[in-house]
Amino acid sequence: MIDGEILTIGPGDLVPHVLQIKHDGYRLIQICATTTKEGYELTYSFGRGYEMAHLRLIVGPHAQIMSISNIYEPAFLYENEITDLFGVPIQLISPDYKGKLYRIEQQTPFK
Amino acid sequence: MATRSVVPFGPQHPVLPEPIHLDLVLEDEKVVEAVPSIGFVHRGLEKLVEKKDFHEYVYVAERICGICSFMHGMGYCEAVERIMKVEVPQRAHYLRTIWCEMSRIHSHLLWLGLLADAFGFESLFMQSWRLREKILDMFEVSTGGRVIFSVNKIGGVRKDMDADMLKSFVALFDGMEKELRILSKTFLNDYAVNSRLQGVGFLTKQQAHDFGAVGPFMRASGIDRDTRKLGYAAYPDLDFEPITSDVGDCYARTQVRIKEIFQSFDLIRQAAAKIPDGEIAVPVKGFPDGEHFMRVEQPRGEAIYYVKANGTKFLDRVRVRTPTFANLPAMLETLKGCQLADVPILILTIDPCISCTER
């Protein structure tokens, strides 16, 4: 990956890409969700040294997205946060807080 | 076979004034697993971007945290400035750098005090915070505030420091440095302090990498990475190298933070000597359109400000990946295998900021 690059991929390509990125020596830096007119944009940021590169998923509101917490353990916090705040259904997060990471009155406020 | 039990830690705990809860799974006195719960005081500051225009949001960003409020404001401003391709005056970059390093000194001294308090060394706690008070006084003199400063704006800064003020600050830092040298001897050489810190809470270099640790927590495990090296503000003009340790225990984290305070004194001296004359801000016209990931080295580690703009005065998204959020998985890993009695000290040595985490 090129430093600063944002590579847009489909949801089905996420896990193979992330496996390759891990193999290339990157670590997970963050996962960020943004609400769009069509649904959501998820940006996965990875770092190696001072480099930072991103994978981006642009998905509809009901898209099934696989968790990457079995590849990168720290992903569980970001994924649970996205589930809580955006209502994005992410499959097989480990551990899955089932929408209870944040104790907030309004469910999925960014949805 | 050892008896397994679950002991709750927090959300109210004497060592942590902010709410975080951990379920500690113990085998006798040894921690085998820790499951975190956060979100007790989630404030929805990122959501506020829908109600505040991109200039007003600077004030919201500053309120993410009361300790690194300046850096939150600056990180957000720099992200927007890069989207809008605003040429910030060099003097503003230097002023931002000086306030950033003052924030780092303030934060690390606050942390040293909390650490001393956690292991019951009350006079050391008071001495650390007495020293910290001098930084707060300098903030008050230079910005008018002691917690929230409101000196950042998109396009530069709102207040200047004249040559006399900078000279007086450098003299004050010289005095503080002498006092810190005395204090640091106790932190680093005292038998009782060492017995609580050395050999406790190891994080290996590989773990620090894999679990995404940042800041002094990461550097104390041997990774020489400091986001200031990426070259924002006036850091490209200053001479410094990341401070690291190869040991990776609580003592190493203390040592790295103490050395970083001395490094901050040096950076401020360099900046005060090199600061150019000129404007401190430029007018900003129009609205941002585009996106940017801005990385800033806060006292607790790298913070990432993601800003996405749509060409109107309201932004689509502001997301702040705070250092404590990034450090939680690595902290959980270090807890595995430690003794229950060491848990408070160990958690404290990542310098957790729940205010940032609950942005």
- For the record, the structure tokens of B333 come out as 């890993």
Counting residues of chain B whose pLDDT is more than 70, the rounded percentage is 100
* pLDDT, mean of residues B269-290: 95
Residue B254 in tokens: 């203390």
Taking CA atoms, what residue in A is nearest to B208?
A27
Mean pLDDT of B34-56: 83
Structural domain spans, chain B: 42-357
CA-nearest of B165, B121, B109 to B140 is: B165
Q: Is B220 helix (H, G, I), strand (E, B) or coil?
A: coil
Amino acid at B227: T
Measure CA B359 to chain center. 14
Segment holding B224, helix H or strand E: none
pLDDT at B52: 87
| CATH homologous superfamily, domain A6-91 | NADH:ubiquinone oxidoreductase Nqo5 subunit (3.30.460.80)
State chain B's mean pLDDT as an integer.
Answer: 92
Each residue's pLDDT tens digit, A44-99: 999 999 999 999 999 888 888 999 999 999 999 999 999 988 888 888 988 888 87
SS3 of B355, please? helix
Domain boundaries, chain A: 6-91
Identify the helix (H) or strand (E) that includes residue A7.
Answer: strand A6-9
State whether residue B15 sits within 8 Å of chain A by CB: no
**Which letter, b or e, does each residue of A36-71 get, where b requires 16 or more Cβ atoms within 10 Å of its Cβ?**
eeebbbbbbbbbbeeebbbbebbbeeebebbbbbeb
| Cα within 13 Å of Cα(B103), Cβ side | 28
Which residues from A are below 8 Å from B297, CB to CB? Answer: none
**Closest Cβ opposite residue A29 in set B42, B47, B304:** B304
- The three-class DSSP label of residue A57 is strand
The Cα–Cα gap between B33 and A78 comes to 20
Nearest CA-CA distance, residue A75 and chain B, Å: 9
Which ipTM did the prediction report? 0.93
Pick from B38, B316, B319: which is nearest to A101 by CB? Answer: B38
Q: What percent of chain B has pLDDT over 90?
A: 76
Instruction: Tell which B residues from 206 to 225 touch A, by Cβ distance under 8 Å.
Output: 209-212, 225
Smallest CA-to-CA distance from B247 within B267, B222, B224 is with B222
What is the per-residue burial (b if ≥16 Cβ within 10 Å, else e) of B328-358? bbbbbbbbeebebebbbbbbbbbbbbbbbbb
Q: Which of B107, B128, B130 is nearest to B119 (CA)?
A: B128
Six token digits for residue B315 = 């932004």
CATH code for the structural domain at B42-357 = 1.10.645.10
